[in-house]
Amino acid sequence: MISFLISIAALILGYFLYATFLEKVFGIDRNRTTPAYHLKDGVDFIPLPTWKIFMIQFLNIAGLGPIFGAIAGAMFGPSAFLWIVLGSIFAGAAHDYFSGMLSVRHNGLSISEISGIYLGSWSKHLMRFFTIILLLFVGTVFMMGPAKIIDGMSSHILNFWIWVFIILCYYFFSTLLPIDKLISKLYPIFGIAMFVMTIGLILVLLTGEYHVPEIKWGNLHNMTSYPEQTPMFPILFVTIACGAISGFHATQSPLMARCIKSERNGKFVFSGAMITEGVVALVWAAVSMAYFGDVRGLNIAMETHGHNTAWAANEISLNMLGGIGGVLALIGIVAAPITSGDTAFRSCRLILADIFKLDQKKVSKRLYISIPLFITAFVLTQIEFDILWRYFAWSNQTLAVVVLWTITAYLIREQKLAWVTYVPAVFMTMVSATYILIAPEGFELPNIYAYIGGAFLTLLVILLFQNYVNNKQGNILKAINIWK
C-alpha cells in the first residue's frame, strides 16, 4: 500500500514540478490571442471556461484505456505502477502538453498538419492516414465496448445491437453540433461520475482489508501466467497506453486548443488531464491486484473469464463499492469510453476538414464528412472486438512516436531543450517497433529476433531523424544538450 500512495504523490508532484518545467521550456505568451477568439465560428472555435475545457480534455483522453488497460497491465505486477508514474510524467505529460500548445500556436490545426510543418510532407500524409484510421478504430471500439457493458448491466433487456445503434446516434449528434451545445453540458456530469468512482475506490482500498503489492526488487519481474508469451517489454508499454502515453491524446488536444482562452491555461488543461488520467490508471491497477487477492489471483480470474476486462471492471465496481457507489462507478466506466468515442469522430471530422479545407460553419459541410465516417464505423463493428482493440493499441502508440518526433523537431528549430521529448521518442520507437514484430497481430517473430529487429528499426529512425535535422535545422546533438 505504501508504494501505491507514494506513486500517487509522485504523480501530483510531477504535475507541479515537471509540468511547470515543460511550460517554461515551451515559453507561453500570456498576451497572445488564442484561436478561440480570432477564429471564433460558433461551432468548433468557441471560448469555454477553463474548468470545462479540463473536464472535456480529461474525458476525451480517458476512454477505456486507464481502466481496461490498467487491469490488463496489472497482470504484470507492480512494474505497472512504475510505468504509469514514469510514463505519465516524463512521456505522457510532455506529449500532451506540447501537442496541445503547438495546436494553439497553429490556429487549432490537427496534429497531422502540424507534423507536416516540422517533419515534412511525407509525415503529413502518413499522419493523415494514421490518425483517421486510429480515430475510426477508437470510435468503433468505444461504440462496442460501452454497448457490451450496458447490455450486461441491464441483464440483456435490449439486444446488444440496439445499444450500439443508440450510442451511434448520440455520436452522430455530438459530432455535428457546436461543442458548447452538447459536449460541454454533458461532460461535467460524466466527469463527476468518474471522480466519484476513483475517490471511492481509493477510500475502499485505504479502509478495507486489501493488500496492494509493493514496488520492490523481488516484485519487478513479469508476473503474468505465461511470461514467455507476454514479455514485459514491449507488451506492458502498449497494454497501459492511455494511463501513461497515448497518441490518441494528440488527436483530441486540437479540440480544446480551439476553445482555450489563454496559453497560461495549457498546463492545467493538457498536462493536468494527463496526470489525472495517470491517477485513474494507478487506482485501477492497484484495485485489480488487491481485489483478487494478489497478482496471481488476478491472472487466474482473468484466464477463467477469457481475459474479459469488462467483466473484471464490473466485478470490482459492484463488490468494492456496492449499491449506489457501484452504480456510479459503472456510469463512470460507461461514460469514459463514450466521451472518447464521440470526440474521436469529431476529431476525425476536423482532420478531414483541415485536409480538404472545408469550412465547418454550415451543417451541410459537416454532413458531407460525417455520414461516410459513420458508415465506415458501422462496417468496422462487424470485425471481432478483440482484434480491433489489439490493432488500436499498437497504432495508438505508433502515433505517439510520430508526435514525439514532431515535437522534438519543433524544439530543435526553436533552440529549446529537445531532450524532454527526444528521450521518450527513442524509447517509444523501440516499444512500437518491437511490438509489431513480436505480437500475434504483427509478425509474431521469436523474442530475440523481435528485440534485434526493434533495435535496428529504432536506430534507423534515429539516423533518419538526425539526417533530416542536419539538413533542415542543425545538429540535434547540440539541441539535446541538457546544459544548453
Instruction: List the domains of the chain with CATH numbers.
Output: 2-20+31-392 (1.20.1740)
In whole angstroms, give the CA distance from residue 129 to residue 145: 24
**Residues 130/402, Cβ–Cβ less than 8 Å:** yes
pLDDT at residue 482, as a whole number? 39
Cell of 345: 469522430
Q: Retrieve residue 432's grid coordinates.
A: 512500437
- The residue whose grid cell reads 457507489 is 325
| Grid-cell match 485513474, residue found | 280
Nearest to 274 by CA among 22, 93, 64, 100: 93
What is the torsional sign of CA 68, 146, 401, 457? Answer: positive
Of 385, 407, 408, 388, which is closest to residue 396 (Cα–Cα)? 388
Task: Give dist(CA 348, CA 435) in Å, integer.
Answer: 26
Q: What's residue 5's pLDDT?
A: 95
Grid coordinates belonging to 449? 529476433
Peptide bond into 234 cis (omega under 30): yes
pLDDT at residue number 305: 92
For the purposes of burial, counting CB atoms within 10 Å of the CB of 189, is it exposed (0-12), middle (13-18) or buried (19 or more)?
exposed
Question: Which pLDDT does position 480 carry in this prediction?
Answer: 41
- CB-CB contact of 410 with 148 (8 Å): no
Determine the Cα angle at 107 with ends 104 and 113, to 5°.
Answer: 95
Cα–Cα distance between 194 and 201 in angstroms, integer?
A: 11
DSSP state letter for 364: H
Rounded CA-CA distance 456/151 in Å is: 46
- Give the C-alpha distances (Å, rounded to integers) separating 169 from 149, 165, 338, 450: 18, 6, 12, 43
Query: pTM for the whole thing?
Result: 0.91
Alpha-carbon gap, residue 447 to 230, rounded angstroms: 10
C-alpha cell at 425: 521518442
Please count the CA atoms within 13 angstroms of the CA of 125 that sit on its side-chain side.
Answer: 3
Please give the Cα distance from 167 to 446 (Å, whole number): 41
pLDDT tens for the chain, residues 1 to 484: 899 999 999 999 999 999 999 999 999 999 999 999 999 999 999 999 999 999 999 988 887 778 889 999 999 999 999 999 999 999 999 999 999 999 999 999 999 999 999 998 888 888 888 888 888 888 887 788 788 778 776 777 888 889 888 998 999 999 999 998 888 888 888 888 788 888 889 999 999 889 999 999 989 999 999 998 899 999 999 999 888 999 989 999 999 999 999 999 999 999 999 999 999 999 999 999 999 999 999 999 999 998 888 789 888 888 888 776 667 666 777 777 888 888 889 999 999 998 888 889 888 999 989 999 889 888 887 776 566 666 677 788 999 999 999 999 999 999 999 999 999 999 999 999 999 999 887 899 999 999 999 999 999 999 999 888 887 754 444 444 433 3
